Chain A
Amino acid sequence: MGSGSSSTYSGAGGSQPYANTYHVVQKELNKDKKDPDIYNPSTGYFKNPTATNLENATQNSSVYIDGKKADGQYTYVMDKNGKIIFGKRSNPNDSAKRAPHPTLIGGKDPEVQNAGMITFKNGKIFSVDNHSGHYRPNIQSMGKVESALQKLYERDPKLFHKDSKWRK
């Protein structure tokens, strides 16, 4: 069972205690439930249409999203199966809002192993962090993401920007 379940973590600052998986923190869940552009009472979080499995998004040593080279900061989660899913922050339902991390999975209780922001420059992986106000994952969970990216690096180092830590 993951930590950060609605009964155990208020989301009032700091990270959640280390766990295999994390639920959305209560504070953010309560807020999202009031917003029909983010959360539907019967189906839960909408699914971000740009959600992309990083492993399957590579072509000619570059990462693509929506038919273009990934370029900028994107939200990402590591799902329960260890896949890194990333997507655009813009909200397709309302341009004046953003699509939070849980929308990369969608549904009523999207559990993740980690969440944060991933940065690409001209299609190359540049950096990754664990900045997610919705999941507030423990820093210890970064190791799982680092390992997954290391495997990707071993498969194709040119997927990574030359100034990224993997190539230094």
Chain B
Amino acid sequence: MNQNEKILEVTTYLFSCRHDDPAFDSDDSYEHSDAAQALIDEYGWKEVFPYWFDYLQKKCPTEDDVINFAHLFFYYGGSEQPLRDPYPFVSYLYYRVNTAKYGADATDIFDSIVIPLLSNIGEISLENEPDYVPEKDPRILSGVEAWRKADTTG
């Protein structure tokens, strides 16, 4: 199995489960978490991230699937990894899920991903902007618009 096949196989294993399944990494088991860490350790985040993002775009057809992906991405430490330009990724979350309609379940886990990713690159600071709302961030809004255009033209 070559590198691409291996990353794809582990990515599918990591994201094809439900984060709220009581059996998921239960009773102090960290099977999935350990597999995610091992994958990143072996191939590097730069190689792994595109596969995770690709999974989100191709294998998460419903809003509920996207929210589940977000929980797993957070659990596997994706928001702690460096992303030089996180806007296309985070904008995609809001492009796919209308948080106003879906409510706190989406709002809170998306905030949990967006705030660390943007803080890591110095774009925001919760201490200086305690009321920061990603859905009002012009950079994210323009990213959502770009995804919308790509969808209608592509």
Contact = CB atoms under 8 A, between A and B. Distances in A.
Contacts of B75: 71, 121-122
Q: Which of A90, A119, A163 has the most CB of B within 10 A?
A: A90
A61 interface: yes
A33 B24 CA distance: 44
B141 interface: no
Contacts of B131: 31, 97-98, 100, 133
A96 B135 contact: yes
Contacts of A71: 19, 71, 74-75, 109
B115 A73 contact: yes
Interface of B: 19-20, 24-25, 27-28, 30, 33, 71, 74-75, 99-100, 103-104, 107-109, 111-112, 115-116, 125-133, 135-136
A71 B126 CA distance: 19
B99 A101 contact: no
A43 to B, nearest CB: 20
Contacts of A69: 20
Contacts, number: 82
Given A95-B103, A132-B130, A72 B112 contact: yes
A77 B112 CA distance: 18
Contacts of B130: 28, 98, 100-101, 132-134
B126 A117 contact: yes
Which DSSP category, helix, strand, loop or mixed, fits chain A's interface? loop
A87 to B, nearest CB: 10
A48 to B, nearest CB: 11
B128 A133 contact: yes
Contacts of A117: 126
A68 B20 contact: yes
Nearest to B127: A133
A88 B107 CA distance: 9
Contacts of A163: 33
